[in-house]
Every structure is written in C-alpha cells, then in structure tokens.
Copies of this chain bind each other. A is one copy, B any other.
Amino acid sequence: MPELLPGSDAALRARARQVIPGGLWGHLNAAKLPEGYPQFFAEAEGCRLRDVDGRETIDFMCSWGPIVLGHKHAVVEAAARAQAERGDTMNGPAPVLVELAELMVQMIPHADWILLGKNGTDATTACVTIARAATGRRKILVARGSYHGAVPWCSPSVAGVTAEDRAHLIQFDYNDTDSLDRAVAEAGADFAGIIVTAFRHDFARDQELATADFARHARQVCDTTGAALILDDVRAGFRIDLAGSWEPLGVRPDLSAYSKAIANGHPLAAMAGGERFREAATQVYTTGSFWCGAVPMAAALATLQELKRIDGPERMRAMGQRLRDGLAILARRHNLAVNQTGPAQMPLMTFVGDVDWKMGDAFCSEALRHGAYFHPRHNMFLSCAHGEADIDAALVAAEAGFAAVKRSIG
C-alpha cells in the first residue's frame, strides 16, 4: 500500500471508513459520485469550492441546495456573527424569530403562520402530522419515487422500515391527474392530504415540471374533500419564486415545507400554513433542542431579505439559462444528444441513451478536472454568486467533458 499524504482526500477517506459506517452517511457520500470527485472540502467562497487536495472548482451543487446566495455571503455571515455575539441557543428565542416569522408570512401568500425546525424531514413530517391532526383522517397521498426525507415513513431505503411505517400512504404518479383521482378514491373518507414536490426531481431520471393542470387538480380535490395540500418545497423553495414554487402556476398549498436554501447554509427548516391549520399546528408537538437557536434565524432573515432585494430567483434563472444554452451549443458541436430538464435554476443534463450513466460520469469527471463541479443524475443548483464569467468558465470545463464523452464512445 502506498503511503497516503496526511490530510489528503484519500487519507481522510481511509480514516473516515474506520469510524463512520460506509465512510459517510447519506446523500453526500462521494462513493456515489463519478470517479475523481472529492469527499472532503477545505474551503468555499461565492460559487467556488476548494477540496482538501487543493483543487478549485465552480460549484453547481451548492451543498445540494442550501447555498443560494453563495458560500460565506458577507451580509448573511455578518448577521449570523452579530447574533452569535449576543446569544444563539438560549432558554427561548431571540427577537429575530418574530421578524423572520413576520417576513415569511408576508412573503408567502398562503402562510398565516410558520413553525421552524432543523431538517427538511422535520418540515415534511410535521406537515403530514398537522394534516392528520387537522382533518382527523390518516391517508396521505405521495407521488411514486418522490423524495420527502430520510426517516422510516419516507426514506428511499427500506432497511429497518416496518410495513406500518407506511401503512397510510397511497401512491400516485406525478403529473397524472387520473392516477391522483384513483388515489383519492382509494383514500375515501380517510383522505388527510397530498404531499407533493414543487416539480418532479427524482434521483437518476430526467426532471419534469409540474403542469398547471396537475397542480390545479390537486388543489381542487383537496378543496372538495377538505384534505390538505402540502407542498414539499424543501428542495426548490426560494429558487423558483419567493412566494412559493407553485405561485407561478396560480396554486397555493395549505401547508408547505421549507429548508435547504432558507438560511444560505445555516441549519433551518420551516413549516408554513394557513389559518385553518393553526389549531392543529398548536396541538402537534414538534420541537428540538436547537429549534430556538437565534443564529440560523438571523441568517435566514438576512438571506430572504437579500433574495428579495436582488430578485434572486430571476438572477439564478438567467445564469442557469446561460449555462443551459451553452451546454446545448457544445453538445451539438460534439454531435451528442442531451436532455436538459427542470427549471433553469435547478438544471439537469443527461445524455440520450446513457442507460448505464457512463457518458454522464465521463462528462462530469472530465469537467471536474477542468474546474466545474457538475452532477450527472441529480438536479444541480445555481446560486446568486454565479456570474456570467463563472458560467463561461464552467462551459470551458464542460467542453472538455463533451470531448471526453466523444472519445469514450469512439
């Protein structure tokens, strides 16, 4: 065995494998990434990452969503530091909680109140529980393959999950109103709610925007039955529309779940709801040791104000579109057929016919070597720190990626 350089990615991985099952839990485990991707990071700033081996890349994953203004954003970090100098986790919240809650209620039209948590899973679980408490019913409709969190009722793994954990879930197909109707019929009088992601962003398949028809139909079946429409906006929230990701479709949920981008990387989640669900939200016991921590709230207040001030979603859309347009030109130049799906702020590019992901992996590995951190099969994320020069530099790296794909298929 060759000696590993202390502090190198390889050395840290070897040590991690000893003391962490599989080397790392969950979605950030680099074993699931194309060859050459780093596991450990030394530094991040704006849209740039530096891994522990000293390689700098332009970041198109943004920590898988949380970084929406850019790493170490000056305004957010100043707000966080100022609050940290006063106090963080105390015997109750700081005044910033009220400011943040008022801002969110003003920003999100369907919201009359909010609750906070730490994980996206906290938010989706609380919304489902509130829907059941408010309606006195049990059945929750979920789209086949949608990700709503990492606990037994919704985890993509079934290890340790019992049948009862999912006893009251009924599946339907995303964007399929007939399928939704069948699920509603199956739930019958026990229909408590629908939980649905802002668009179809399932792992390892092309993305699909929600159709207005589907969203309106979901709203309508909830209206006629008294069930709760729960928008799982954990992944897309604050990137598509600051009023909620279905606002452009003209559809407002009863409850919505937020996390990821809400505080530019500080740990926070939020559940937002309308008046009809306030009493149930009081009855459901949802809490955690750090849920009144003031620093992430101060970071969230600064993040949301800044996103509003600069129209963050439009800025990310424009830069995402610039990336997408550039990728389309490069793909054509290399005679490679690609699919580009999802909203421009959260784009995904796959290669047509790439059933074993070899082309996507080859593209990403080579682009990484040339300085762009892409993902072959999970939606990517733009941030407001991505400027035109960053997109253009990433396209140079992408060009090397397309050339590598071309070489690999001979």
Contacts and interface: CB of A to CB of B under 8 A. Distances in A.
Contact of A114 (B20, B61, B157, B373): B20
Given A16-B101, A115-B21, A293-B267, A156 B90 contact: no
A19 B155 contact: no
Nearest to A112: B19
A341 interface: no
B113 A89 contact: no
A38 B90 CA distance: 12
Contacts of A90: 41, 44, 49, 63, 71
A77 interface: yes
Most buried by B among A19, A88, A165: A19
Interface in A332-383: 373
B373 A91 contact: yes
Interface in A62-111: 63-67, 71-72, 77, 80-81, 84-95, 97-98, 101-102, 104-105
A406 B185 CA distance: 64
Given A12-B98, A119-B122, A134-B160, 5 more contacts: A18-B105, A18-B113, A21-B281, A72-B84, A129-B152
Interface of A: 7, 12, 15-16, 18-22, 24-28, 30, 38-45, 49, 52, 59, 61, 63-67, 71-72, 77, 80-81, 84-95, 97-98, 101-102, 104-105, 112-122, 125, 128-134, 138, 150-153, 155-157, 159-162, 164-165, 167-168, 234, 259-260, 265-267, 273, 278-293, 296, 373
